[in-house]
Structure 1
Amino acid sequence: MKLYKIVIILLISLFTISCEDVVDVDLETAPPQLVVTASIQWRKGTLGNEQMIKLTTTTGYFNTTIPTVSGATVFITNSNNVIFNFIEIPNTGDYTCDTFIPVLDEAYVLTIILNGQTYTATETLKGVSSITSISQNNEGGFTGKEIEIKSFFNDPDNADNYYMFKFKSSILAIPSFDVFDDAFTQGNENFGLYINEDLKKGDVLDMTLYGISKRYFEYMRKLTAVAGSASGGPFATAPASVRGNIINTTDAKNFAYGYFNVSETDFKKYTVQ
């Protein structure tokens, strides 16, 4: 596990401080496994026909580049057996399609054929409400000194709904995610919340609201929990791997990481006041 390797490196560093011998660390690397990034997003106001799926593999702890996967056959099928082919941009691991047809509540099946192995996943395209308003509070957070941005939307009252907010600020390279359901807010106004003490006037925050399935909600909740546990110190329990909905129908033991998700989304760009 990654955290276990970090512990090994820290311990080795402590011992080598007091000696001059060079220690070669031979960390065992597991065979590479397929990693699928397949988030099909239909942004409101667009056709949603242009989509991309990325294929990579797991790699060694010390590797600084992520290996991409070429030569796969990738396609999505809808309930009417219409096939949407995803063609690779040569030698990139990026497979694109410009003929995809998004339909709310439609079931889609992803198929990936690679090296004699077939991987499949099924997901339903979930709709989402529009972001109606955005508010800013310059005295938010526990300290009262953090800028707090709320993005509001109205939850429908006729079904159980699951949501994900993606926040990407201009001051951070990595976006943050928040997943939640309407168990206590069904039929009422709801909001996504972003707090950052380093935000200042003129910074830009991109906000994307996703309608997601219950299964994807549970997957992302586990994934964010695992990511959070990595900050528990060098002697924290190593987090478990999180498996998605992608199944290897040829060899179940040779599983893939990642998730096939299909969502309607709404997007707003906000400039901090």
Structure 2
Amino acid sequence: MKNYIQNFGLLFLALVVFACEDVIDVDVQSAPKRLTIEASLDWEKGTSGNGQTIYLRTSTDFFDTASNTAVTGAVVKVTNMDKGSEFSFADQDDGSYTTTTFEPIVGDTYALEVNYNGENYYAEETLYPVPDLTVVGQSRDDGFSEDDLEVNMQFVDPQEEGNSYFFKFQKEGALLPVFEELDDEFVNGNKIDWYYESDEDDDTDEMEAFKPGDTVFIEFYAISPAYHDYLQILINQIGGMGIFDSTPVSVKGNCINLTDPENYAHGYFRVTQMVKASYTFE
């Protein structure tokens, strides 16, 4: 009798395992292939900023990881609209286009032009000055948890209204950075205190609180109000959806197609000044 029960149990387990091996086909929506423009001309304060790279690729279906998306053969240039100077970006035959002659000038407006497959893409951005950033140390006072370490920073916002910024934080050894955006709507012209605290993700366990000996790398950017709004939407979508959030949709950047407006490009053309810092916790 005992042997019979064991055999019956094994048979039942086998049926369950085989039942779980059914293949379920899921229809995934596909979208038209579009040009993707990664044009971030970031000028680190205190450097010349002459060397810059723009990346062109094509979009693919979500599960397509095998296609070569690099775009070659395009004509790429950036023009300083205030001075009239032009900067050509050379095709490197791998989807990247480079220049060593770019001249960043605070307050000037720049225009990106990309000619690809007989269509002209265009975008404009203005270069804003970034304040100096001071890393003042560490504490446990400002974050969500009074037990966790955080890095504390300060900067002085200029008197001019409409300044926007974003931070990029990356813990040494972490796979992905964390982005935070802000504007000076309620703090214009004041000294601003900012902090960053690394929390553990309950779903992925990819992050954990800072501990002594950890190092965090910090990048601080001055950005245009338009890019601030674009980045705010992206950060909200990356952060995940709650039960009351709207369904994420494709976010349009500032790269318009002058030839066929319906065939717009993904991505954004930005021109920023930025500063870098790092901090090692004690």
Q: Over the residues paired in the alignment, what is the CA RMSD in angstroms?
A: 2.2
The question of whether the paired residues in 1 share the 8 Å contact of 2:170 and 2:178 is answered with yes
Structure 1 residue 271, shift from structure 2 partner: 1.5
Structure 1 residues 160 and 236, CA gap change in structure 2 (3 angstroms): closer
The aligned residue for residue 70 of structure 1 is: 72
Q: Distance in 2 between matches of 1:166 and 1:216?
A: 15
**Structure 2 spans left out of the alignment, 5+ residues:** 1-16, 200-207
Q: Distance in 2 between matches of 1:20 and 1:36?
A: 41
Q: Aligned with 2:235: secondary structure?
A: helix
Q: Aligned with 2:248: secondary structure?
A: coil
The question of whether the paired residues in 1 share the 8 Å contact of 2:161 and 2:184 is answered with no
Task: Give the counterpart letter for 1:169 in structure 2.
Answer: K
Q: Aligned with 2:236: secondary structure?
A: helix
**Structure 1 spans left out of the alignment, 5+ residues:** 1-15
Q: Distance in 2 between matches of 1:82 and 1:144?
A: 53
Q: Distance in 1 between matches of 2:256 and 2:196?
A: 34
Segment drifting more, 127-136 vs 38-47? 127-136
Task: Give the counterpart letter for 1:89 in structure 2.
Answer: Q
User: Over residues 44-65 of structure 1, what are the superposed CA-to-partner deviations in whole Å (9 max), with x where a residue is unaligned?
Assistant: 1100101111112221121235
Structure 1 residues 52 and 192, CA gap change in structure 2 (3 angstroms): farther
Q: Distance in 2 between matches of 1:195 and 1:107?
A: 35
Structure 1 residue 68, shift from structure 2 partner: 1.9
Q: Aligned with 1:136: secondary structure?
A: strand
The question of whether the paired residues in 2 share the 8 Å contact of 1:140 and 1:146 is answered with no
Aligned ranges 1:1-273 → 2 under 5 Å: 18=19, 20-64=21-65, 67-79=69-81, 80-90=83-93, 92-138=94-140, 141-197=143-199, 198=208, 199-228=210-239, 230-232=240-242, 237-273=246-282
Question: What TM-score, normalized to structure 2?
Answer: 0.83
Q: Distance in 2 between matches of 1:191 and 1:54?
A: 35
Q: Aligned with 2:149: secondary structure?
A: strand
Q: Distance in 2 between matches of 1:196 and 1:221?
A: 20
Structure 1 residues 189 and 86, CA gap change in structure 2 (3 angstroms): same
Structure 1 residues 20 and 222, CA gap change in structure 2 (3 angstroms): closer
Structure 1 residue 164, shift from structure 2 partner: 1.0
The question of whether the paired residues in 2 share the 8 Å contact of 1:165 and 1:192 is answered with no
The aligned residue for residue 14 of structure 2 is: none
User: Over residues 156-212 of structure 1, what are the superposed CA-to-partner deviations in whole Å (9 max), with x where a residue is unaligned?
Assistant: 123331111111111421111111111221221113321114222222211111111
The aligned residue for residue 9 of structure 1 is: none
The aligned residue for residue 7 of structure 2 is: none
Structure 1 residues 25 and 181, CA gap change in structure 2 (3 angstroms): closer
Segment drifting more, 80-89 vs 197-206? 197-206
Q: Distance in 2 between matches of 1:207 and 1:121?
A: 28
Structure 1 residues 129 and 140, CA gap change in structure 2 (3 angstroms): closer
The question of whether the paired residues in 1 share the 8 Å contact of 2:143 and 2:195 is answered with no
User: Over residues 109-162 of structure 1, what are the superposed CA-to-partner deviations in whole Å (9 max), with x where a residue is unaligned?
Assistant: 000111011100001111111112332114653231222112211111233311
Q: Distance in 2 between matches of 1:214 and 1:264?
A: 14
Structure 1 residue 32, shift from structure 2 partner: 1.4
Structure 1 residues 186 and 28, CA gap change in structure 2 (3 angstroms): closer
Q: Aligned with 2:232: secondary structure?
A: helix
The question of whether the paired residues in 2 share the 8 Å contact of 1:150 and 1:191 is answered with yes
Task: Give the counterpart letter for 2:160 in structure 1.
Answer: N
Segment drifting more, 140-149 vs 101-110? 140-149
The question of whether the paired residues in 2 share the 8 Å contact of 1:118 and 1:249 is answered with yes
Which structure has the bigger radius of gyration?
A: 2
Q: Distance in 2 between matches of 1:268 and 1:159?
A: 26
Structure 1 residues 259 and 191, CA gap change in structure 2 (3 angstroms): farther
